[in-house]
């Protein structure tokens, strides 16, 4: 299921400027799945299973507690309590991406597939240099929009600039049938929203692709591998390409270079990010000893 807007909140009714300023002031900590990002990518636990702000692990829980970060953000607490049901809410994170990239990946591949994991983003501010993508295309989230982000399909995010891009990420979990409106406390209070949002991208021919792969094969080795992965991951934000094409390209480049070490590394990275990984499994891109 592709990502889409499912509602819009009038965020001008909330005093969020001081909340965003506080969240931007919090020092980034090491966290789960840091390996997906490059640049300044920060995830702060605002609500979670323990109420401990240092707890970044997403997991099932009967109760979702506000952390110390939530207690410093009264506007966000009001927004959450007034617009969302907390019954099936498992975690809320404040996410900031500045001059950085989250490479194409799939979430929840290691979790129970009988359960529905429903991820929602709420943009707290606008940033015309920040983009998201999935298997259907590239889009920008505008302030106040409530987005369903299908994290179970390949997706990515980028901020090409230096300005803040703060979002709330709400993770819900359901057993059995449910409607997306079940997450809202009062759907009638939501504002109208746009239905057309994909950005037109430039064409990219097969000749262009062959040229990129050939050029990559000439500079690809264990010292350039990580930088090249992140560089190739940006192409689909500009050109009309599949979101995860970067992994196929780097495998093809390694095959052209007849570099067995890189072929193995690139295939294992693709497996981990978009195919399958085990619970608790971690992957370090520059670890060549595994």
Residues 54 and 182 reside in one and the same domain: yes
Residue 117 lies in a domain: yes
Tell me the average pLDDT across 56-64.
Answer: 79
Could you tell me the CATH number of the domain that includes residue 265? 1.10.1720.10
Residues 246 and 104 sit within 8 Å (Cβ to Cβ)? yes
Q: Is residue 285 part of a domain?
A: no
Same domain, 164 and 231: no
Could you give the CA distance from residue 204 to residue 109 in angstroms, rounded to a whole number? 30
Weakest mean pLDDT among 71-80, 117-126, 147-156: 147-156
Task: Please state the domain count of the chain.
Answer: 2
Highest mean pLDDT among 7-11, 106-110, 146-150: 7-11
240 and 176 co-located in one domain: no
Query: Is 196 inside any structural domain?
Result: no
Residues 79, 80, 81: CA angle, nearest 5 degrees: 95
Is 201 among the domain residues? no
Q: What percent of the chain has pLDDT over 90?
A: 70
Residue that is last in its domain, among 144, 161, 189: 189
Across 22-31, 111-120, 166-175, which has the greatest mean pLDDT? Answer: 166-175
Highest mean pLDDT among 46-60, 248-262, 263-277: 248-262
**Residue 92 domain-assigned?**
yes
Closest CA to 2 of 138, 133, 108, 136: 136
**In b/e form, how buried is each residue of 21-30, taking b as 16+ CB within 10 angstroms?**
eebeeeeeee
Check which CATH number belongs to the domain holding 180 and give it: 2.60.120.330
Single residue among 189, 216, 250 that ends a domain in this structure: 189
Residues 9 and 150 in one domain: yes
pLDDT at residue 110, as a whole number: 45
Task: Decide if 282 is inside a domain.
Answer: no
Domain around 237: 206-275
Mean pLDDT for the stretch of residues 1-8: 90
The least confident of 35-39, 112-116, 220-224 is 112-116
Q: Which domain-ending residue is among 159, 189, 219? A: 189
Q: What is the mean pLDDT of the chain?
A: 90
Q: Do residues 221 and 174 share a domain?
A: no
DSSP 113: T
Q: Which helix (H) or strand (E) holds 244?
A: none
Q: For the segment 111-146, what is each residue's pLDDT rounded down to a tens digit?
A: 455 677 889 999 999 999 999 999 999 999 999 999
pLDDT digits 0-9 by tens, 195-216: 999 999 999 999 999 999 999 9
């Amino acid at each position: 299921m592709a990502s889409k807007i499912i509602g819009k909140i009038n965020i001008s009714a909330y005093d969020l400027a001081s909340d965003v300023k506080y969240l931007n002031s919090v020092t980034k900590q090491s966290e789960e799945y840091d390996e997906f990002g490059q640049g300044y990518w920060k995830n702060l636990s605002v609500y979670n299973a323990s109420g401990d702000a240092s707890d970044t692990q997403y997991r099932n829980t009967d109760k979702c507690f506000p952390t110390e970060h939530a207690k410093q953000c009264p506007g966000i607490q009001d927004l959450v309590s007034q617009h969302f049901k907390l019954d099936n809410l498992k975690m809320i994170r404040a996410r900031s991406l500045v001059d950085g990239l989250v490479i194409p990946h799939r979430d929840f591949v290691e979790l129970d597939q009988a359960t529905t994991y429903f991820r929602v983003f709420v943009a707290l501010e606008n940033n015309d240099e920040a983009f998201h993508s999935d298997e259907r295309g590239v889009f920008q989230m505008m302030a106040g929009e409530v987005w369903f982000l299908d994290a179970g399909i390949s997706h990515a995010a980028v901020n090409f600039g230096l300005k803040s891009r703060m979002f709330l990420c709400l993770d819900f979990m359901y057993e059995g049938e449910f409607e997306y409106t079940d997450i809202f406390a009062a759907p009638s209070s939501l504002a109208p929203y746009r239905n057309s949002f994909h950005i037109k991208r430039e064409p990219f021919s097969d000749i262009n692709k062959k040229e990129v792969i050939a050029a990559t094969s000439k500079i690809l080795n264990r010292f350039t591998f990580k930088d090249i992965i992140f560089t190739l991951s940006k192409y689909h934000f500009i050109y009309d390409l599949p979101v995860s094409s970067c992994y196929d390209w780097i495998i093809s480049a390694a095959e052209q270079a007849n570099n067995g070490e890189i072929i193995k590394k690139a295939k294992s990275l693709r497996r981990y990010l978009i195919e399958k990984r085990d619970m608790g499994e971690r992957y370090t891109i520059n670890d060549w000893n595994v």
